[in-house]
Amino acid sequence: MKRLLTLIILVTLCSCGPVSAATLNGIVTRVLDGDTIDIGKDRVRFRYIDAPESKQKSGPMSTAYLKSLVEGKEVTVIYTTKDLYKRIIGTVMLGKTNVNKMMVSEGYAWSYKGYDTKAFRSLQSSARTSMVGMWKENEGEGSCEPWNFRKKLCTEN
């Protein structure tokens, strides 16, 4: 009986296969902030990054930069999941440009601690060293991390 149960579990796990990525193509109809856009009725949250909140010192600058990149333009979103708010969590591509990476490398978003990758942490480190985007505005210090700002663990002047 134990062998049969083990076999059933293994067959079930193996038959599921890898999760395949889906794509969404469309025109960006609205930029909500530095890491969230609307494509028609679909809301997309950028994967691996966290941009300053609108009430943070660098928030409006981050939103404006993202608007200059994608608003009114056709993008492709590569995704595998949605979050609790039913937003698509994905990588936004403008042609061959990875917009998620660009937001971090140009200093307009943080590598999202706990959800990021080594590549995104490296891009953030380079942006900070180069003092671009929010790192320039805040003299290399950046602002309060958005995830801490939302939890009210820090404030900004």
Q: Which of 47, 87, 106, 128 is catalytic?
A: 87
Of 42, 41, 37, 40, the closest CA to residue 22 belongs to 42
Q: Which of 47, 53, 106, 128 is catalytic?
A: 53
Our answer to whether residue 45 is catalytic in this structure is yes
Our answer to whether residue 106 is catalytic in this structure is no
Q: Which of 45, 47, 106, 128 is catalytic?
A: 45
Residue with tokens 């960006």: 28
CA atoms of 86 and 12, how far apart (whole Å): 27
Would you name the residues annotated as active-site residues?
45, 53, 87
